[in-house]
Amino acid sequence: MHVLSVSSLKGGVGKTTVTLGLASASFAKGLRTLVVDFDPQSDVSTGMDIAVAGHLNVADVLTAPRERTVRQAIAPSGWTRGRNGTVDVMIGSPSAINFDGPHPSIRDIWKLEEALAHVENEYDLVLIDSAPSLNALTRTAWAASDRVIVVTEPGLFSVAAADRALRAIEEIRRGLSPVCSRSASS
């Protein structure tokens, strides 16, 4: 199982759109994919047509990363209705903001990795749509990841945020790939 975080420290640069595009491409290629909606805005869960009723969510997983909790927080994407393939979502929640403090404990940083270990044989790829901040949720996502994609656009504040993200990633993990989601008009 390969785990890839899609991150940006600035909102509005296309991070969730990149995550959805990668999920769509992995589905088309037949990869068994889990998308973790780690952004409290929960736009990935909406974009992937998730029926959230009767399921737990990422906040429950962070509270207790046990196998049963993890499995109850995962739902199939509506994209797969009537089609072969696996694209599941660990459902996002606005309550995840309660886990996004500026100074996470070492134990909390590894909770997502602990949770994903329960389903590692069921997926080829895990995509994590990170929160647009450098607080606990993003650091937790990065700690669970093999690679991090930093999404940016060619503007002063976006590039500065990407630079901050790259420096922070160096502290946690090695191996990253910046992605520019927009180009300047001529």
Note the pTM of the prediction, 2 decimals: 0.85
Whether 175 shows a pLDDT value over 50: the answer reads no
The string of DSSP codes covering 83-143 is SSS-EEEE---GGGGGG--SS--HHHHTHHHHHHGGGTTT-SEEEEE--SSSSHHHHHHHH
Whether 114 shows a pLDDT value over 50: the answer reads yes
Q: What is the mean pLDDT of residues 39-68?
A: 95
The pLDDT of residue 11 is 76
Q: All domains of the chain, ordered by start, with CATH? A: 2-180 (3.40.50.300)
Q: What is the mean pLDDT of residues 101-112?
A: 88
The pLDDT of residue 64 is 96
Name the token pair of 44.
């990935």
**Environment class of 158 (CB within 10 Å of its CB; exposed 0-12, middle 13-18, buried 19+):** buried
pLDDT tens-place string over residues 21-31: 999 999 999 99
pLDDT tens-place string over residues 130-157: 988 888 999 999 999 999 998 877 777 7
The pLDDT of residue 186 is 52
